[in-house]
């Protein structure tokens, strides 16, 4: 697959942007091309099982393009592949800096300069190393603060240091102080890597800049170039604190989020970062077990239904393997809000239970109660308790009686929770939802036709939680009925599946217009 992007002058000083995606796959017949942009239209019924169907993805993409004054075209023939082209007319950004010149200036400043990178997360460390090596910098990396100190004491010098804030044993602030005092250390500037929306007070004189993880390449480049050249940071690089205040005496928590749904992962990450906590994300229960084996977490937010290994089995393994003093506080998270679900969670060894979708103030209230657990973790003889009843959050309200596809008030409340001041998070969340859910609905309809009850139940459960999260209460209600029917022993799944597809089409159209508008 090859993606190309070109621009050309259009009327009134605007630009025509052309994005082409060339796919060397099986190709499409002329008759198939005509049906491509229709909801749930398959070019060939057999490709649903062999190559996947087009579902709603292209139909939604075409609507998004048209809403922005553009269009999508396709040229294809059997056995020769396809070329999809997006054409859009866009206004140029006023007074936009020349990207090429800015890049050359930053690269010239960074080339040949040395940087010390300290981060206990191996993946993050590797990415930073690759990013800065690619900019011509000479990188020295360390996963442990003690290793970094040993290098500096042994004579290592550097022009700038990148220090992760949250590390075991010694945090970024303490490491910064130790580096300044270490033999052979210089007064080279320090840059802190921190979680979104959180920074300790009073560190402006100690650190030259603060970067939010994960760090975008351009922001990393421009920040280090500004720091090394002694130039002030531009407004786009300044730190804007949107964090909610932590309760008195509470420290940021190390949290593991075990969740297979991409939308829920992203929303959970943003919400936890804004609440002032550090989060690591895994996609299933087995990965959660592996994570707690190698790193100590204060809290595990455990989705109940995940592929490979579900939340219940993962919790049982964690409780069986870890010593009492190493046990995390485990919170069950599920779209179900049934009494027997809560009892099942407790029996598996979970400490608390939250119903999806979770609001920021609910999550904050629950995490505030974890402090007492953390301080007495070593005294805990048996994991699991009856605290879940006190921490249980009531299920969300029933479907919207007005019949609207998306309740924009619910969506706005979520964005407030996430600190979405300029609409970027909303656009990202909706785009990810539409991308993921279009395929989910297609697979649900196909599975219903095949009487594959297990697949229908799994998809309905996953899609229900994210739909409810974004304010699509009526779609969530239909999916709940679909899930219950699929978990039963009898009943035709197809009629409800078609109801899901019809309601989803309304939701997708509403969300697409919100992004375009």
Q: What mean pLDDT value characterizes the chain? A: 79
| Separation CA 79–CA 25 (nearest Å) | 7
Q: Residue 288's pLDDT is what?
A: 94
Whether 24 shows a pLDDT value over 70: the answer reads no
End-to-end CA distance of the chain: 31
Whether 267 shows a pLDDT value over 80: the answer reads yes
46, with CB counted inside 10 A (0-12, 13-18, 19+), is exposed
DSSP state string for 32-55: HHHHTTSTT--SSTTHHHHT---T
Q: In what side-by-side order are the strands of the sheet with 160-164?
A: 138-142, 114-118, 160-164, 190-194, 209-212
Q: Residue 32's pLDDT is what?
A: 65
Residues pairing with 74 in the sheet: 84
Q: At 224, is the pLDDT very low, low, confident or very high (cuts 50, 70, 90)? A: very high
Q: Higher model confidence: residue 318 or residue 262?
A: 318
| Separation CA 116–CA 152 (nearest Å) | 10
331, with CB counted inside 10 A (0-12, 13-18, 19+), is buried
Q: Which residues contact 56 (CB under 8 A, 6 or more apart)?
A: 39, 40, 438, 441, 442, 504, 505, 508
DSSP state string for 166-217: --SSS-HHHHHHHHHHSTT-----EEEEE-TT---TT-TTT-SEEEESSPPH
pLDDT digits (tens, 9 = 90+) for 362-401: 888 888 777 666 665 555 545 444 444 444 444 544 566 6
pLDDT digits (tens, 9 = 90+) for 437-492: 888 898 999 999 999 999 999 899 889 989 999 999 999 999 999 999 999 888 99
State the DSSP code for 158: -
228 contacts 109 by C-beta, under 8 angstroms: yes
Structure tokens given for 438: 């279009």
Q: At 285, is the pLDDT very low, low, confident or very high (cuts 50, 70, 90)? A: very high
pLDDT digits (tens, 9 = 90+) for 178-187: 998 885 556 7
- Whose tokens are 């442990």? That residue is 144
| Separation CA 43–CA 257 (nearest Å) | 39
265 contacts 295 by C-beta, under 8 angstroms: no
| Separation CA 345–CA 107 (nearest Å) | 53
Q: At 53, is the pLDDT very low, low, confident or very high (cuts 50, 70, 90)? A: very low
| Separation CA 487–CA 489 (nearest Å) | 7
Q: Which residues contact 103 (CB under 8 A, 6 or more apart)?
A: 221
| Separation CA 167–CA 170 (nearest Å) | 6
Q: Residue 197's pLDDT is what?
A: 44
Mean pLDDT of 193-220: 70
- Reported residue count of the chain is 517
- Whose tokens are 């007064």? That residue is 187
CA diameter of the chain: 75
Residue 333's H or E segment, with its range, is strand 329-334
| Separation CA 491–CA 248 (nearest Å) | 54
Angstrom distances, CA of residue 131 to CA of 136, 188, 208, 217, 222:
9, 20, 20, 7, 12
Q: Give the rounded distance of the alpha carbon of 264 from its chain centre.
A: 7
Structure tokens given for 32: 């198939």
| Separation CA 62–CA 132 (nearest Å) | 38
Whether 94 shows a pLDDT value over 70: the answer reads no
Backbone Cα Rg of the chain:
26
Residues pairing with 352 in the sheet: 331
Whether 86 shows a pLDDT value over 80: the answer reads yes
Q: At 54, is the pLDDT very low, low, confident or very high (cuts 50, 70, 90)? A: very low
């Amino acid at each position: 697959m090859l993606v190309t992007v070109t621009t050309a002058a259009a009327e009134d000083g605007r630009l025509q942007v052309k994005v082409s995606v060339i796919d060397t796959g099986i190709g499409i017949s002329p008759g198939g091309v005509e049906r491509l942009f229709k909801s749930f239209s398959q070019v060939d019924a057999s490709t649903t099982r062999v190559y996947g169907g087009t579902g709603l993805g292209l139909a939604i993409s075409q609507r998004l393009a048209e809403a922005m004054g553009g269009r999508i075209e396709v040229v294809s023939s059997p056995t020769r592949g396809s070329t999809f082209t997006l054409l859009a007319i866009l206004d140029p950004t006023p007074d936009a800096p020349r990207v090429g010149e800015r890049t050359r200036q930053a690269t010239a400043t960074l080339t040949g300069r040395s940087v010390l990178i300290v981060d206990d997360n191996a993946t993050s460390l590797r990415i930073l190393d690759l990013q800065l090596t690619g900019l011509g910098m000479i990188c020295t990396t360390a996963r442990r603060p003690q290793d970094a100190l040993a290098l500096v004491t042994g004579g290592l010098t550097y022009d700038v240091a990148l220090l992760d804030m949250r590390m075991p044993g010694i945090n970024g602030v303490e490491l910064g102080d130790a580096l300044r005092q270490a033999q052979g250390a210089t007064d080279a500037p320090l840059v802190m890597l921190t979680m979104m929306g959180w920074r300790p007070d009073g560190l402006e004189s100690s650190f030259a800049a603060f970067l939010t993880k994960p760090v975008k390449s351009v922001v990393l480049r421009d920040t280090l170039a500004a720091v090394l050249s002694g130039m002030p940071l531009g407004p786009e690089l300044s730190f804007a604190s949107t964090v909610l205040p932590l309760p008195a005496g509470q420290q940021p928590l190390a949290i593991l989020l075990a969740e297979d749904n991409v939308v829920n992962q992203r929303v959970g990450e943003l919400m936890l970062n804004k609440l002032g906590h550090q989060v690591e994300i895994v996609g299933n229960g087995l990965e959660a077990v592996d994570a707690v084996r190698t790193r100590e977490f204060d809290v595990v937010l455990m989705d109940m239904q995940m592929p490979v290994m579900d939340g219940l089995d993962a919790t049982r393994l964690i409780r069986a393997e870890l010593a009492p003093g190493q046990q995390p506080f485990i919170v069950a998270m599920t779209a179900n809000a049934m009494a027997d679900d809560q009892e099942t969670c407790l029996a598996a060894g979970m400490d608390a239970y939250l119903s999806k979708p979770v609001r920021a103030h609910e999550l904050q209230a629950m995490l505030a109660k974890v402090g007492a657990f953390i301080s007495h973790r070593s005294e805990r003889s048996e994991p699991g308790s009856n605290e879940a009843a006190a921490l249980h959050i009531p299920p969300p309200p029933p479907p919207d009686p007005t019949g609207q596809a998306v309740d924009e008030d619910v969506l706005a409340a979520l964005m407030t929770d996430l600190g979405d001041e300029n609409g970027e998070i909303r656009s990202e969340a909706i785009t990810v939802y539409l991308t993921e859910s279009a395929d989910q609905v297609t697979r649900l309809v196909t599975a219903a036709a095949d009487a594959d009850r297990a697949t229908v139940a799994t998809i309905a459960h996953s899609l229900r939680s994210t739909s409810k999260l974004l304010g699509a209460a009526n779609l969530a209600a239909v999916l709940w009925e679909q899930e219950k029917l699929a978990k039963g022993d009898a009943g035709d799944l197809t009629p409800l599946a078609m109801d899901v597809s019809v309601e989803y089409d309304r939701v997708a159209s509403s969300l697409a217009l919100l992004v375009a508008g």
